[in-house]
Amino acid sequence: MYLDHWRLKERPFENTPDPRFLYYSPKHEEALARLTYAIQERKGSALLTGEYGSGKTVLSRALEALLDNTRYKLVFITNPRISAFEFLVGIAKRLGAKEISERKIDLIDAIHEMLDRNVAVGKDTIVVIDEAQLIEDRDTLEEIRLLLNYQNNDRFLLTLVLVGQPELREKINAIPPLKQRMEIRYHLAALNAEETKAYIRHRLSIAGTREEIFSEESIRIVYEYSKGLPREINNFCDLTLFTAFAKKAKVVDEGITQEVLKDFGG
């Protein structure tokens, strides 16, 4: 609705995991570098944690965009609140299993066979489990640990990437054998004030404008409200752009931002 007013080609603050809009703060660059290292060096596992809305999912999608699909087979599990058996079924299906056995031993053998097949054709298998803090069944965590036993003499047959909120670390730490297997770890912190400003400008640029739409004072308010969490920044800035458009304003100033802040309970 407000695109023409701000000379934008698309909405800049949508909460979708579009890697084009990923702002590479030093924190996000470090997180992506560690995940990439874990995959390229064929580590068994990697753990990425961060607060809700910190940009973990879009990072995993950026990782997918970086990887050559002729060399890597990337599998996403986005709803891990399932039983251990359903978890294995999900992996098997995404790896390309044509038939799913009702016997766990057959299912495990099928997964192992598909991993071996990928290795034989020069493909590395990556399994990304998003929102992994939602795993409630301890047996599922045990299956994750056992998947890390899939290895040849000189390499792992897959790399498991667990992505979730901070409580995921507590769940993993409660299972010492699993904790010991988490070779690469990173916690994605929120953006600071300067990074928040750069984040806003970056997303506006990707959406089609380099104009200074937000005043310095309005950005300060956005940062104080959002505490540097990209999802909160997006929610706030989207409504702010709409409110300023409705007022036919040429910039988002402090007054408009304060008005939106009240709508958000600030």
Report pLDDT for 152.
81
Does position 256 have pLDDT exceeding 90, yes or no?
yes
Four-way CATH pick for 3-13+191-263: 1.10.3720, 1.20.1070, 1.10.8, 1.10.10: 1.10.8
Region label for 240, one of left (φ > 0), alpha (ψ between -120 and 50) or beta (otherwise)? alpha
Cα 78 vs. chain centroid, distance in angstroms?
Answer: 10
The pLDDT tens digits for 40-59 are 999 999 999 999 999 999 99
User: The tokens of 171 are what?
Assistant: 């769940």
Distance of alpha carbon 162 from alpha carbon 140, whole angstroms: 13
* Domain assignments of the chain as residue spans, ordered by start: 3-13+191-263, 26-188
Q: 53-83 as b/e, with b when 16 or more CB fall inside 10 Å?
A: bbbbbbbbbbbbeebeeeebbbbbbeebebe
Q: The domain at 26-188 falls in which architecture?
A: 3-Layer(aba) Sandwich (3.40)
Average pLDDT estimate for 114-140? 94
Report the chain's mean pLDDT, rounded to a whole number: 94
Report pLDDT for 259.
95
The pLDDT tens digits for 13-49 are 999 999 999 999 999 999 999 999 999 999 999 999 9
User: The tokens of 25 are what?
Assistant: 């703060």
Distance of alpha carbon 4 from alpha carbon 15, whole angstroms: 21
Does position 115 have pLDDT exceeding 70, yes or no?
yes
